[in-house]
Chains A and B, each alone.
Chain A
Amino acid sequence: MNERQTSDVRWVQLVERVRSGRDQRAFAELFGHFAPRVKAFLMKSGADASLAEECAQEVMATVWHKAHLFDPERASVATWVFTIARNRRIDALRKQRRPEPEDLPWGPEHEPDQSETIALQQESEQLGRALAALPDNQRMLIERAYFGELSHSEIAAETGLPLGTIKSRIRLALERLRHEMK
C-alpha cells in the first residue's frame, strides 16, 4: 500500500498542531515529507541545487507561518504546499508577480467541519491513486505540465509529439482523474 493512501488526514492533523501549538515535532514530520519533494519540484523547474534548497526552506518556513490559513475543507496539505512552492517558483525563477484571486468572503477564521474535511482528504487520496494509475505517456505529460514549466507547445517541441496529441492526452488524463474523484 502506498504511503499517500493513508497519510492525507495525518498531514492535516500535523498542520493543525503547528498552527495551534507551534509544535516542532509535527513540523519536522511535515518537513521530512514535503521539503525533499519541493526541492525536487524546483530543480525540475530549472533551479540549481542551492537555489532549490534555499527556496524549499523558505516554502517550509511559509508553511509554519501560514498554518492558520490552511483550510482542510478546501485542499489537501500537498495541494496547499504545491501552491506555496509554485508561487515561490514564479517569484524566484520567473521574477514575476503572481496575481491571486480574491479570497472567498468567509475568510480563514471559520472552524473546519470534520466530515467535510475528511471527505475532501479522501478525494485527494483517490486523486493520488488515479494519477499513479495513469498510463505512463499521460502521467508524464501531466507531470511535465506542472513541473517542467513548459507550455503545451514547448512540450510538443521537446517530445516531438504533435501539439494536438499532447492536448488530447492531457485532456484524457484529466478526464480520468476527474472521473476517479466522483
Chain B
Amino acid sequence: MKKTMTTTIKHHLTDDLLMAYAAGNLPEAFSLVVATHVSLCDECRARLMEYEAVGGAVLDDAPECAMAEDSFAATMRLIDGMPADERIETSAMVRHDGNAVFPQPLRDYVGGDAEAVRWKSLGGRIRQAVLPTSKEASVRLLYIPAGMAMPDHGHKGMELTMVLQGAFEDDEGLYARGDVEVANEEMEHTPVAAPGPDCICLVATDAPLKFSGLLPRIAQPFIGI
C-alpha cells in the first residue's frame, strides 16, 4: 500500500464477513456496513483484496463453458452500442470527500452526508433512519445522544454496528469512529453512548433484536427494530 491513512480503528470486520463480501454472498444491508468500514480502514481493505484475489484464482481455475457461436461479434456490437457515459469512472472516485462524516457508499444510500438523514424519533431523543435495501437483512442509522443507553437486548441473528460519529461503550469495550461490533446469538448488551459528540451508528441486522425489558418489547412492533 502506498498511502496509509492515519487510523485508530481497533475493532475490525471478521474474516467470514470479508470473504462473504468478496464472494458477493452477503445481504445488501451487511454489504453496506462492510463497504462503509473498508472505506475508512486500510487493514480490512488489504484483507478484502486478498479475498478478492482468491476469487480471481478460482475464476481462472474454473472449467470453461463454451460461448455461443457469434458471441465475440455480439459483444463488439454491445460495446459499440454502449453510450459513452458508460465509460465514466465510478462515482466513488470522482466524489471522494475527506471531510464527510459518512463515507461514499453510505452517502449513496442516504442521498448526502449526515445532515441529509431523515430521522424519525424513537422516543427519549433517540432517532433512527431505516435505509432501503433488499429484504433478507435491514440496515438503519441510529442517533444516540451522548450519555444515553440503547435498550438492553439480545440477538436472534447477526448484528453489525459501525460507529460514524461519537462513540459507544458496552461490556465488549469502547467503540469509536470506524469501529465495528459484531454481535450474534450468544451476546446480550446495553450500548451506552460515550460523553462527547452524540453517537451516530450504522446498524445491520438479519433478525429482529430481543429486548429484555418489558417496555421496549411492547414498543418493538412500532419502532421496527
Instruction: Determine which of B31, B53, B105, B134 lies in contact with A79 in the assembled complex, contact meaning CB atoms within 8 Å.
Output: B53
* Chain B residue contacts of A124, Cβ below 8 A: 53, 56-57
A72 to B222 CA separation, bound complex (whole angstroms): 51
A118 part of interface (Cβ distance < 8 Å): no
Q: Which residues of A contact B215 (CB under 8 A)?
A: none
Given A40-B62, A151-B20, does the pair A57, B74 have CB atoms closer than 8 Å? yes
Interface residues of chain A: helix, strand, loop or mixed (majority):
helix
Give the distance in Å from the alpha carbon of A177 to the alpha carbon of B56 in the complex. Answer: 13
Which A residues are in CB contact (< 8 Å) with B82?
61, 65
Cα of A127 to Cα of B54 in the assembled complex, Å: 7
- Chain B contributes a number of interface residues (CB within 8 A of A) equal to 62
Pick from B86-94, B144-152, B159-167, B184-192 the stretch touching chain A. Answer: B86-94
Check A101–B92 contact: CB distance below 8 A. Answer: yes
Contact of A146 among B3, B54, B74 (CB under 8 A): B54
Contacts of A94 in B (CB 8 A): 134
CB-based contact A40/B56 at 8 Å: no
- The complex places the Cα of A168 from the Cα of B67 at a distance, in Å, of 37
Q: Which of A40, A97, A177 contacts B63 (CB 8 A)?
A: A40
Is B58 a contact of A147 with CB atoms below 8 Å?
yes
CB pair B58–A105 under 8 Å, yes or no, is: no
**Which one of B19, B20, B31, B68 contacts A98 once the chains associate, using CB atoms below 8 Å?**
B31
- Tell me if A81 and B56 are in contact (CB < 8 A): yes
Write the A39-56 contact mask toward B (1 if CB under 8 angstroms, else 0): 111011000000011001
A: interface residue count bin: 35 or more
Q: Are A65 and B86 in contact (CB under 8 A)?
A: yes
State whether the Cβ of A1 lies closer than 8 Å to any Cβ in chain B: no
CB <8 Å contact, B59 and A174:
no
Most buried by A among B25, B87, B105: B25
Q: What's the least CB distance linking B46 to chain A, in Å?
A: 10
For residue B115, CB closer than 8 A to chain A, the reply is no
Report whether A36 and B45 are in contact in the complex, using a CB–CB cutoff of 8 Å.
no
- State how many angstroms separate the Cβ of A34 from the closest Cβ of chain B: 8
A103 touches B59 (CB 8 A): no
A16 at the B interface (CB under 8 A): no
Measured between alpha carbons, how far is A143 from B54 in the docked complex, in Å? 9
Closest to B72 in A: A31
A117 touches B (CB below 8 Å)? no
**In chain B, residues 35-90, which have Cβ atoms closer than 8 Å to a Cβ of chain A?**
35-36, 38-39, 45, 48-50, 52-68, 71-72, 74-76, 78-79, 82, 86-87, 89-90
- Interface status of B119 (Cβ within 8 A of chain A): no
A101 touches B52 (CB 8 A): no
**Residues of the B chain whose Cβ atoms lie less than 8 Å from the Cβ of A87:** 24
Inter-chain contact B32/A145, CB cutoff 8 Å: no
Question: Mask for A111-149, Cβ within 8 A of B = 1, else 0?
Answer: 000000000000110011001100000000011011101
Let me know if A82 and B59 touch, CB within 8 A: yes
A171 close to B (CB within 8 Å): yes
Besides A78-B59, A98-B28, 12 new A-B residue pairs in contact (Cβ under 8 A), listed by A number: A57-B75, A99-B35, A101-B104, A102-B92, A108-B93, A131-B54, A145-B25, A146-B55, A146-B59, A147-B58, A171-B15, A178-B50
User: What are 26 pairs between A and B in contact, CB < 8 Å?
Assistant: A4-B61, A35-B72, A36-B65, A39-B65, A44-B62, A53-B67, A57-B75, A57-B78, A66-B87, A69-B89, A75-B49, A75-B53, A79-B53, A83-B52, A85-B59, A86-B23, A100-B90, A103-B90, A104-B3, A128-B60, A142-B54, A146-B54, A167-B16, A171-B15, A178-B50, A181-B50
